């Protein structure tokens, strides 16, 4: 009897979860579709889709095998979860908020992952009324996470948090000291969201400074290597245990007509 051919290493089934602030899903469609075709992630959390659900390009994503859970809004905001094979138990917004609330939150279950996709308020500048709204908004989401996302399950909270963790998340810490996206109250609000037991997954794998997810168009930040790490993957203990890596696709940000944010990819075993 011939020797059996050497066994190929068993492909460990993996699952990729992406968070990407696309800065208009319709303006970015010819960037997003090829990227999905190439990277084939299982779950894609989009922020700043900037359109109502009726005009979201659902057919284009379905053609790639994705099911779309949408929470859109005209002109500003808008979030979505694209998933293969599908997403269940979708919850739009923060339960209890008014119908006039900005569309910044959507949750859904894919496989054994409970996913919460956030587009956190920007806040404009420290002391601006929008800044106070940002801190209040983050506290409401912190309460939502504490009450509705059991940390003994695989909870994945992703999105554009519009908050850095520390000096490593920027090129020039002194330029950003106590500024918007970097102030201590914002970081305290981020910590409050994580308090039930979420971990900044990126930092479990990479401790060095200089890894960014957003670069300002206005100052041509990308060309100068000047960005911030404000898009995050926050994981409960069981999700963290299953996570094998987190990376930022900086190459996508370097292409033609990019979003100002790069996709962040988390891989799970």
Partner DNA sequence: ATGGTCGCGGAGCGA
The site for DNA (CB under 7 A) is made up of 23-24, 26-28, 50-51, 74-76, 121-122, 124, 130, 162, 216-220, 257
Nearer to DNA, 113 or 138 (CB): 138
Nearer to DNA, 10 or 257 (CB): 257
Nearer to DNA, 183 or 236 (CB): 183
Three-state SS string over 152-212 comes to CCEEEEEEECCCCCCHHHECCHHHHCCCCCCCHHHHHHHHHHHCCCCEEHHHHHCCCCCCC
Least distance (Å) from DNA to the CB of residue 25?
A: 8
Q: Is 76 marked active-site?
A: no
Catalytic residue among 42, 160, 200, 260: 160
Residue 53 buriedness (CB in 10 A; 0-12 / 13-18 / 19+)? middle
Distances (CA, A) of 42 to 52, 96, 161: 24, 30, 22
Do the Cβ atoms of 185 and 252 come closer than 8 Å?
A: no
Nearest Cα to Cα of residue 180 among 132, 226, 145, 114: 132
Q: In what order do the strands lie in the sheet with 231-235?
A: 88-92, 105-110, 113-119, 154-160, 231-235, 199-200
Nearer to DNA, 77 or 236 (CB): 77
Do the Cβ atoms of 161 and 230 come closer than 8 Å?
A: yes
Nearer to DNA, 101 or 146 (CB): 101
Residue with the two structure tokens 């910590």: 191
Do the Cβ atoms of 258 and 35 come closer than 8 Å?
A: no
Least distance (Å) from DNA to the CB of residue 219?
A: 5
Q: Is residue 254 classed as helix, strand or coil in its secondary structure?
A: coil
Nearer to DNA, 28 or 211 (CB): 28
- Report, in angstroms and rounded to the nearest whole number, the Rg of the chain calculated over CA atoms: 19
Catalytic residue among 42, 66, 119, 200: 119
Q: In the numeric block, which tokens belong to residue 136?
A: 């209040």
Q: Is 144 marked active-site?
A: no
* H helix or E strand, kind and range, residue 242: helix 237-242
What phi and psi, each to the nearest 5 degrees, are found at residue 171? -75, -45
Active site residues: 119, 160
């Amino acid at each position: 009897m011939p020797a059996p051919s050497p066994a190929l290493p068993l492909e460990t089934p993996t699952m990729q979860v992406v968070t990407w602030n696309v800065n208009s899903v319709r303006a970015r469609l010819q960037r997003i579709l090829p990227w999905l075709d190439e990277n084939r992630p299982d779950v894609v959390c989009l922020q700043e889709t900037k359109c109502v659900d009726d005009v979201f390009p659902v057919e284009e994503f379905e053609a790639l095998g994705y099911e779309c859970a949408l929470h859109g809004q005209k002109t500003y905001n808008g979030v979505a979860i694209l998933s293969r094979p599908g997403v269940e138990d979708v919850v739009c917004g923060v339960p209890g908020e008014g119908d006039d609330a900005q569309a910044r939150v959507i949750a859904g279950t894919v496989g054994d992952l409970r996913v919460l996709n956030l587009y956190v308020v920007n806040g404009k500048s420290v002391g601006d009324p929008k800044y106070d709204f940002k801190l209040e908004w983050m506290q409401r989401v912190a309460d939502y996470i504490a009450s509705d996302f059991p940390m003994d399950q695989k909870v994945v909270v992703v999105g554009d948090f519009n908050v850095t963790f520390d000096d490593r998340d920027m090129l020039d810490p002194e330029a950003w000291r106590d500024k918007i996206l970097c102030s201590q109250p914002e970081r305290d609000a981020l910590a409050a969201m994580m308090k039930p037991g979420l971990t900044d997954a990126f930092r479990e794998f990479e401790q060095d400074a200089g890894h960014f997810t957003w670069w300002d168009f206005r100052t041509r930040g990308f060309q100068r290597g000047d960005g911030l790490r404000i898009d995050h993957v926050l994981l409960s203990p069981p999700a963290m245990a299953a996570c094998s890596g987190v990376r930022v696709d900086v190459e996508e940000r370097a292409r033609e007509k990019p979003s100002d944010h790069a996709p962040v990819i988390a891989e799970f075993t």
